[in-house]
Amino acid sequence: VATPSALQGHPQLEARGFFKELDHPELGVAVQYPGAFIKSGDGGDIAGLYRRPPLIGEHNADIFQGELGLSGAELDSLKRSGVI
């Protein structure tokens, strides 16, 4: 099993365009992420990478309010108390 560092720069993965660069909003630079693990017969991505992974806590409001039904005040209280 290859380590992630061994995969970067691997000739086969480079040749198939496996790694994709996406901007990282906190770092202010483009970061290489693994791309599609499978390609179609014409070389197109079947399962592609279209956006970066979420930042820590980036979707807290979506989950706590949208999915769990907490109010804005309850969410603020959790933030102030250090729970999230």
Domain parsing of the chain, residue ranges:
1-53, 54-84
Phi, psi of 42, deg, nearest 5: -90, 5
What number is the average pLDDT over the span 9-32?
Answer: 88
**What's the predicted TM-score (pTM) here?**
0.54
Q: Are 53 and 83 in contact (CB under 8 A)?
A: no
Mean local confidence (pLDDT), 17-27: 88
Percentage above 90 pLDDT, the chain? 42
For residue 16, which of 48, 58, 52 has the smallest C-alpha distance?
48
**What mean pLDDT is predicted for residues 48-75?**
90
Structure tokens at 32: 């290489």
pLDDT at residue 73, as a whole number: 96
Q: Where are the alpha helices (DSSP H) in 1-84?
A: 4-7, 11-15, 60-61, 72-80
Q: What pLDDT band is residue 78 in, cutting at 50, 70 and 90? A: very high
